[in-house]
Structures are given as structure tokens and as C-alpha cells.
Amino acid sequence: MTSLLRPRTLALPAVLAALLVGLPLSAAPVASAEQRLDKTAYASVTGSAVFVLPYYQDHDVRSFTFDAHAAPYSVPLPGIPTGLPTDARGTVTVSHYSAERNTTYTSEGRVDCLVTGPHTATLTAVITKVSPGGPDDLGKRVGFSVYDGGKDKGRSDDRVGFSWNGVNLLPGGDAAPAEAPVGTCMAPAPYAPVTKGGYTVRHAELPPAPKR
């Protein structure tokens, strides 16, 4: 009986000593904490939503679907072998139902840049596929912005913006304004209200460059 009771009488002082000096009580919690630290939280934008143009009311149905995830320093560039902190991967799908033509046009893009702030994001994608009759945008980079307004009694307060329909022009002289090229992560403010669906923006700070 004495040999069974002795470890129990020593257990409490050992625990108190470990807590006072900040030592782990076992190896298992330390390993799990290290695993949590190793899992870097990267930014993302996900979801699908229908929106309306505040400056042009019609019966068309427009929607964007985002599955964009940050992948910092993953795409080497000439002169920038490490890539950029805004490198990203994923897909964007654009859908536009034309009431006048009773046709839905779609396009898909490959995400190449993502940057976020609290509740907000801008991202760009290079168009890789366009449905028949759609605009000739293959290989073109387009920009998007997202505001994640959360949920309010089932109604979304989210908003989106995008880099066409007259918001990315180069006016000059007497000539008609030309559409400007879109650089990585460039998009206007999210000006179009979401009417159905919604988006989730996961914010993360841009990480420092990797050590060489």
C-alpha cells in the first residue's frame, strides 16, 4: 500500500512546480501547440452570390463565384525569383444571364493575386474559358473586389466590384476612352450590392519574404 500512495502524494507538488516555472506537464500538449503554430493562416475568398448594378437597372442576372486562396511566394518572376507575397491560386466563375437574349454567358478564370484587409479583398484572375457568344476575353486579366458584410437576419450585406463596365477606362483627347489593362490585385471598390448568396473573406497579413 505504501508504494501505491507515494506517487499520489508527490503528484501535487510536481504539478505546482511545473506551473510556477512554466514547464510542460507532458510532451503531447507541446507537440500539438507546435503543430498549430506550423499551420500558417493564409487569406482566402470563397462563396457565390448574385448582385445588381446600382447605376443600371435591368432584368439581367449577374453572379460571381470565388474559390481564391493566397499562396505567397509561389510564382517566381523575372527579377523576382521568390515570387510575391500576393501570389494566389484558385478559380473565379462569372455568370451573366441576358434577359434580352434569354441566354446565360459564363467565363472562368485562374486566380493569380489576392490581398485582403478586415472584411475586404481584391483579387485578379486570368480568363481561361469563355462560353459561346461571350466576350473575347481569353488570356485577359480581370479584377474583383469583395466586401464581406456578414449576416443580418438572413440578409447579406456583402458587395462586389469588378474591372469592366466603364470603371477601368483611359479617357484622353477627343478619342473614345480605351479600356485600361488590369494589373495584379487591381480592382475598384465593391460598389454592387449582393442580393442573393454571399462571400466569406478570411483576412491574413501579407507574410515577409522567405529567408534565403
Whole-angstrom distance, CA of residue 67 vs CA of residue 88: 11
pLDDT band of residue 53 (cuts 50, 70, 90) is: very high
Strand bridging mode 141-147 / 159-162: antiparallel
Q: Is 187 exposed, middle or buried (0-12, 13-18, 19+ CB in 10 A)?
A: buried
Whole-angstrom distance, CA of residue 42 vs CA of residue 115: 10
pLDDT of residue 185: 98
Q: What percent of the chain has pLDDT over 70?
A: 79
Helix (H) or strand (E) holding 204: none
Q: Quick one: residue 7, left, alpha or beta (phi over 0 = left, psi -120 to 50 = alpha)?
A: alpha
pLDDT of residue 173: 85
Taking 70 as the threshold, does the pLDDT of residue 196 lie above it? yes
Picking from 167, 188, 29, 180, the residue whose alpha carbon sits closest to that of residue 123 is 188
Taking 60 as the threshold, does the pLDDT of residue 128 lie above it? yes
Helix (H) or strand (E) holding 96: strand 88-98
Taking 60 as the threshold, does the pLDDT of residue 137 lie above it? yes
* 15-44: average pLDDT: 48
pLDDT band of residue 117 (cuts 50, 70, 90) is: very high
User: Considering the chain, what is the average pLDDT of its residues?
Assistant: 84
pLDDT of residue 155: 62
Question: Cα–Cα distances in Å, from 8 out to 13, 14, 18, 137?
Answer: 10, 10, 16, 74
Taking 90 as the threshold, does the pLDDT of residue 15 lie above it? no
pLDDT band of residue 141 (cuts 50, 70, 90) is: very high
Picking from 181, 96, 88, the residue whose alpha carbon sits closest to that of residue 141 is 181
Taking 70 as the threshold, does the pLDDT of residue 30 lie above it? no
pLDDT band of residue 40 (cuts 50, 70, 90) is: low
Q: What percent of the chain has pLDDT over 90?
A: 69
Strand bridging mode 103-117 / 88-98: antiparallel
Alpha-helical regions (H) of the chain: 2-21, 27-38
Picking from 171, 149, 168, the residue whose alpha carbon sits closest to that of residue 158 is 149
* 3-12: average pLDDT: 38
